[in-house]
Amino acid sequence: MMIKPAITLVLLLFMGLLATGATTASAMDGLKTSDVEIRATAPGMTATGGYLTIHNHSGEADRLVGVTADFAAKAEIHTMIHENGVMKMRALRDGIEIPAGGMVELAPGGLHLMLMGLTRTLQAGQMLEVELTFASGKTRRLSAHVKRPDDIAVGDGGVSGGHNHSQSHSHSHSHSKSGS
């Protein structure tokens, strides 16, 4: 009976994967993404912002180039720029570079996923999914938590608890913004 040890081994490997969780599994190619946090919408609103952090533990820079979500007819990667003293959103056609060994934070008031053409009202507590595409061809299908603006933790140091990378991430906190 050679079969049983083999099955046991496979089971152990499988349980090991489960135990280490999605974060580790998705970090195997060097990109480590947080869950996405999405700003809840009021009825009638057709656009909102999504936020997350992306760490690149590989030796090569990558680039976030695409975002899709089944609840949004159109999705883009946006930044906020100052123009004549006013903060405006601008689509980043070339995406966002994730430096080798670095990280990028998409947070309220700065870089964000722009989710447009919403097909329904997004209420706090809902769980959705967002898919990201990188220039390297890597993709991530991520859980997206709909949250009230005050509860969005990305950018408030509420994400990535545990490890303290001190990369220069430009914190552009602006809690009064409602445009994204």
Asked if 145 touches Cu ion (CB under 5 A), the answer is no
As a whole number of Å, the end-to-end CA separation of the chain is 62
Nearest-CA neighbor of 26 among 154, 147, 132, 146?
132
**Structure tokens, 28:** 């195997």
Question: Which of residues 39, 55, 63, 78 is near Cu ion by CB under 5 A?
Answer: 78
Residue closer to Cu ion, measured from CB, 55 or 78: 78
Asked if 114 touches Cu ion (CB under 5 A), the answer is yes
Alpha-carbon Rg for the chain in angstroms: 18
CB of 74 to Cu ion, least distance (A): 11
Stretch that binds Cu ion, among 62-70, 75-83, 120-128, 143-151 (CB under 5 A): 75-83
Stretch that binds Cu ion, among 11-19, 54-62, 72-80, 155-163 (CB under 5 A): 72-80
Nearest-CA neighbor of 137 among 62, 82, 81?
62
Asked if 122 touches Cu ion (CB under 5 A), the answer is no
Instruction: Give the other-Cβ count within 10 Å of 70's Cβ.
Output: 10
